Structure 1
Amino acid sequence: MTIRTTQTTVHFSSPFRLQGLDSAQPAGDYRVDYDEELVEGLSLLAWRQVGAFLHLPGIGRPATRFQIVPIDSADLKSALERDLGS
């Protein structure tokens, strides 16, 4: 099984909440890692997402410790959509 990790940065204009996080996170930029596995047996290369991870604190924020927490990518997408609407 082949696994790859891709990274992206998401931006929140307002504080936000995600399932699995103890508290609301401040507005800002956050790094997100997506783990994907190769779907074998197809004639084309295809990848299936198997995990998403949010880096805390946000980019550029000082912290005494850093965390990488598993998140639900659908929950992240919903939070980003709510942020755009606010």
Structure 2
Amino acid sequence: MNMRSTRSTVTFSNPFILPGYPGDLPAGDYEVLVEEELLQGLSFEAYRRTATYLTVRGKGAHAGRTELRVTTESDLKEALSRDATTNGTNNHSEAALSPQEALK
């Protein structure tokens, strides 16, 4: 099975929450990792998303630590939408929602 991974960055202007995780995450830039698998048996190349992760860097006693938090495309999109509504403008990257650059 052929897999690909793509990375992109999203920016939150305000603290935000992700379903399933306790507490707020601070405003800032976050790397998003999307994993996809190649769909077999088609006459053209197509991929299906299998996982979406948000990279969260530790603070305080956990500084230097990085955690990949499993999320969904819809939860990430909703968090970005809430953040944009709070600011009254949308300055966020859509790249995480439609990745285009494959990693090696």
1:10-63 Cα offsets, whole Å, 9 max, x none, are: 0001000001222110000000000000011111100110100111128xxx92
TM-score, reference length from structure 2: 0.74
Segments of structure 2 that go 5 or more residues without pairing to the other structure are: 87-104
User: How many residues are treated as equivalent by the alignment?
Assistant: 83
Residue 6 of structure 1: how far off its partner (Å):
0.4
Q: Where in structure 1 do 4 or more consecutive aligned residues deviate above 4 Å?
A: none
| Bigger helix share | 2
Look up the match of 1:52: 52
**Residue in 2 aligned with 1:19?**
19
Partner of 1:7: 7
Structure with the larger RCO, 1 or 2 (CA within 8 Å, 6+ apart): 2
C-alpha distance in structure 2 between counterparts of 1:79 and 1:43, whole Å? 36
Q: TM-score, normalised by structure 1?
A: 0.89
Higher strand share: 1
Report the alpha carbon displacement of residue 82 of structure 1 after superposing the two structures with TM.
Answer: 1.0
Instruction: Give the aligned residue type for 2:69.
Output: V
Q: Which residue of 1 aligns with 2:39?
A: 39
Give the share of equivalent positions with the same residue, in percent.
Answer: 43
CA distance in 2, matches of 1:55, 1:5: 14
Root-mean-square deviation (CA, aligned residues, Å) is 1.5
Equivalent pair of 2:31/2:54 in contact (CA under 8 Å): yes
